[in-house]
């Protein structure tokens, strides 16, 4: 029985900054951001958006009443949880109006947990092929104003249905996970911005990619030639290039060049929104499927990485219905509007964050279908429009 990703949808905020403007404000050569880091635009998050509103927005794009009725479980994967106890999945389930007989849970391991969610969902469907599991990978990547990580911030959510007979990607049985206790990026309970050893984290990422790919190849006997393309977790687009080049080295043959071209196709959307943490690999997968030279029957590799650290390499076969089972990302990105760096800084500093007092946000400026209206008696107040 084929099990895998049946449908995918992406949501981000409605505004962005141009990173050449950010470079000018920070006194940096813009080529460092657009070429050295490989990012052009970055999603800007108003205080009325968080992982719950973004996750609900992504899920709303792919659910029909019939699909909603078939859901057994909703798993939200996130690094940017809004509560240390209550799962964001419960809030999202409520906003989407899902049946109460739906299991709801949140998973955490930095940027990796979206992949854990997919694998757990696969297991649930293998136990009961009638089940459909909704996986939402939603995050807001915050490093702080005027920090080295600032240019790699971003925000958004990818919602995915995992089921039998999937239309997008049938996941193959072999997957290799690899974890080590590493302090490359973490966020203590009292912090709203990540602590990161940036250079170290890029080296650990590459190390984990090489380790998991090598073990996958040993177990399956497959070569790089067996992949039409590889989708990477993309904290910034240059990271995928660094990892791919670490295994291609100076190869210039047709296979190596194909993988380079497909990598570029997988980076198109990340360049426009930035890091999604848990969702980045899956936005990269959507980008590869919508912009790459791929066809039904092709095998794709997927490399997932979460600091701390956990990596996983697995693969899937593209299914015939893939093109019609993905949300229209170019349309959504074209509908965003640009804001100034000053406006971004003001919005960055007006998040709910760790505040304990009652807060009421002005929701008029945010036309998103779900908004965070504020906080009352330590409870977040959400609105569905
Ligand atoms: N023109 C073109 N390129 C330029 C340039 C110019 N004028 N100036 C600099 N560059 C290049 C540099 O040569 C460098 O390229 P290479 O990496 O290929 O050598 C690149 O731009 C970046 O320059 P620096 O190394 O000087 O950049 P930095 O010190 O400001 O930090 C960073 C870069 C470490 C990635 C930082 O942005 C950071 O800490 N980011 C957050 C951490 C991160 O994303 N880590 C990724 C792995 S961890 C992970 O994947 C989990 C997760 O999601 C966080």
pLDDT digits (tens, 9 = 90+) for 18-56: 999 999 999 999 999 999 999 999 999 999 999 999 999
Beta carbon of 203 within 6 Å of any ligand 1 atom: no
Q: 354 C-alpha vs ligand 1 centroid, how far in Å? A: 29
For ligand 1, whether the C-beta of 304 sits within 6 Å is no
| Average pLDDT estimate for 353-374 | 96
Instruction: Express each pLDDT in 256-269 by its tens digit.
Output: 999 999 999 999 99
Amino acid 161: pLDDT: 98
Contact 39, 269 (CB under 8 A): no
Kindly give the number of the ligand 1 atom that is closest to the alpha carbon of 202.
47
Q: Contact 7/168 with Cβ under 8 angstroms?
A: yes
What pTM value is reported for the model? 0.98
Q: Work out the pLDDT band at 315, boundaries 50, 70, 90.
A: very high
Instruction: Take atom 5 of ligand 1 and give the residue whose Cα is closest.
Output: 32
Ligand 1 atom nearest to CA at 151: 37
Residue identifier of the C-alpha nearest atom 16 of ligand 1: 36
Q: With contact defined as beta carbons under 8 Å apart, do 3 and 167 qualify?
A: no
Q: Whose CA is nearest to atom 17 of ligand 1?
A: 36
Whether 158 and 290 have beta carbons less than 8 Å apart is answered as no
Which of 25, 39, 379 lies closest to 238, judged by CA?
39
Positions marked active-site: 79, 111, 233
Mean pLDDT of all residues in 226-233 = 98
For 274, left (φ over 0), alpha (ψ -120 to 50), or beta? left
Find out whether the beta carbon of 233 lies less than 6 Å from any atom of ligand 1: yes
CA of 143 to the centre of ligand 1 (A): 13
pLDDT band at 61; cut points 50, 70, 90: very high
State in Å: Cα 201 to ligand 1 middle: 10
Q: Which of 148, 156, 187 to mutate to test the pocket of ligand 1 (most atoms within 8 A of CB)?
A: 148
Q: Ligand 1 pocket test: which of 23, 32, 312 has the largest number of ligand atoms within 8 Å of its C-beta? A: 32
Residue 24 Cα to ligand 1 midpoint, Å, equals 17
User: What whole-number distance in Å separates Cα of residue 23 and Cα of residue 375?
Assistant: 34
């Amino acid at each position: 029985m084929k099990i895998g990703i049946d449908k995918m949808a992406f949501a981000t905020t409605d505004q962005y900054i141009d990173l050449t403007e950010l470079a000018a404000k920070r006194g940096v050569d813009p080529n460092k951001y657009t070429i050295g880091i490989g990012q052009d635009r970055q999603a800007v998050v108003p205080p009325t958006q968080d992982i719950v509103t973004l996750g609900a927005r992504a899920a709303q794009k792919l659910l029909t009443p019939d699909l909603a009725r078939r859901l057994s479980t909703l798993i939200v994967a996130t690094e940017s949880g809004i509560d240390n106890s209550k799962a964001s999945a419960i809030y999202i389930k409520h906003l989407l109006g899902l049946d109460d007989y739906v299991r709801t849970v949140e998973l955490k391991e930095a940027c990796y947990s979206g992949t854990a969610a997919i694998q757990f969902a696969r297991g649930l469907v293998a136990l009961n092929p009638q089940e459909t599991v909704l996986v939402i990978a939603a995050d807001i990547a915050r490093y702080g104003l005027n920090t080295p990580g600032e240019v790699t911030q971003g925000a958004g959510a990818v919602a995915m249905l995992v089921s039998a007979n999937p239309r997008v990607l049938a996941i193959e049985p072999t997957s290799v996970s690899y974890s080590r206790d590493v302090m490359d990026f973490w966020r203590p309970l009292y912090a709203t911005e990540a602590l990161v050893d940036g250079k170290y984290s890029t080296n650990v990422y590459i190390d984990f990619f090489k380790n998991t790919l090598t073990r996958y190849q040993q177990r399956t006997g497959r070569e790089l030639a067996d992949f039409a393309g590889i989708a990477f977790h993309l904290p910034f687009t240059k990271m995928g290039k660094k990892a791919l080049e670490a295994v291609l080295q100076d190869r210039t043959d047709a296979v190596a060049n194909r993988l380079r071209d497909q990598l570029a196709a997988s980076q198109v959307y990340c360049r426009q929104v930035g890091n999604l943490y848990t969702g980045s690999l899956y936005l990269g997968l959507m980008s590869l499927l919508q912009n790459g030279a791929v066809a039904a029957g092709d095998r794709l590799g997927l490399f997932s990485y979460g600091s701390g650290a956990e990596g996983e390499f697995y693969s899937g076969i593209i299914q015939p219905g893939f093109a019609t089972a993905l949300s229209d990302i170019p349309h959504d990105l074209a509908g965003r509007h640009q804001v100034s760096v000053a406006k971004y800084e003001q919005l960055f500093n007006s998040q709910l964050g760790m505040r304990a007092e009652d807060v009421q946000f002005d929701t008029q400026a945010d036309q998103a279908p779900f908004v965070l209206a504020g906080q009352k008696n330590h409870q977040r107040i959400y609105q569905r429009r």
